[in-house]
Structure 1
Amino acid sequence: MIQLLFLVLLAESVIAFLLLVKIGPFRELVIKSLDQVKTGKGPATVKTIAGTMSVILLSSLMSIIKIQNKGAKLGTMSPMDQVLWRTHLLEASLMGFTLFLGFIIDRMHHYLRKLIGLRSSVGSSKEELEQLQKEKTKLKEKEEKASKEIKLLREEISSLSENLKKLKTESEEKDKKIETAEAHVAALQKQSADLLLEYDRLLEDNQNLQNQALGYRS
């Protein structure tokens, strides 16, 4: 029993050391082995073993207390009781250390798993951050390109506005010229009508004069 406990304690010490100190791929192998132990029927088996060891530990402690009480009553312990007391004390110590070290290994494995998960999350977060930075750079480049295009469009709009103003001014000037020309044409038409009336009147007077001249001759 004691030899078996020494072997278990040695194995647990090696596992705890490999979990604490990273030596090549051994830590990953130990973590994977513990993962397999904690899957399926492994947890129930471990709990059964731990419960059995706890019962044996309590039994050893009770035996130690009984031997001590017996020795206290007699005033001294017999050599056989001393051997049994030391044996039970060694077994109890080994089982206590074994259970304690097993609990430490379980917690170390749990927190290492969490640490690995956090590192994976941090790695994915870094990748996402790099991707976001790349997208931000692309968006910034697009924004600069868009601002340049907007600036060019504004310049074109300004140039078109100036051209439109010039065309509007020219159009107003042409409209004024057209109005002046129309007024001039209207004046010429009126003058032409007056001249035609005067011409008709002169023709009529001339005709009258000719008629009068013919009357005198006859």
Structure 2
Amino acid sequence: MMEAQEVEAQAATESGQQQLKLYSYWMSSCSFRVRIALNLKGLKYEYKALVKGEQFSPEFRKLNPMGYVPVLVDGDTVVADSFAILLYLEEKYPQHPLLPPDLQKKAINYQAANIVSSSIQPLQNLTVLKYIEEKVRPVEKLEWVQFHIGKGFLALEELLNNHAGKYATGDEVYMADLFLAPQLCAAITRFQLDMTQFPLLARLHEAYNKIPAFLDALPEKQPDAPSS
């Protein structure tokens, strides 16, 4: 059951008295994760799109000194980094838990999320790809991304093999799914990764494409996404 303060916080957010604000960028997979979580938990929020270069402004760096999205503002609380935001949301807004009660399954969720957030996504970051394009050769960019995504996906296939059900760690959507869905979307649509060697992940990708909370969080459905 929710504590009284959690109920009050949820009611205030839903009534608009303390509306959440999410600083986001349509193509950011890190922002994508948080959008899914907010949708699953039924939390209304104001979408604050960053225009080109705004992440480097002094005003935004007060919210996140790293200059990255996403950033969540919840009243007087400011949380940057998608992993930190998800853990914050899980503690303050416990409806639709993002972590299973079983300790082993919880650990698997953390491991899967960490593989994506530490060993895959940073290596496909726009800053990294721009550096490769400028310092090495533009043609090396796609090969670099596909190699590192493939390496991470092989690890995820092995990790989740004995734990997956309808979704990554069973028949309920949990944190691992929130990290996997945006990464799979990027791998397939942006980086043209051949998914034939990743049958489990390919199946999960199809499952995510049937969940409204995931579909509403897709990059192309965000207010700042290009119209064509």
Q: Under a length normalisation based on structure 1, what TM-score does the superposition of the two structures give?
A: 0.21
Structure holding more helix per residue? 1
Q: Tell me which structure has the larger Cα radius of gyration.
A: 1
Structure holding more strand per residue? 2
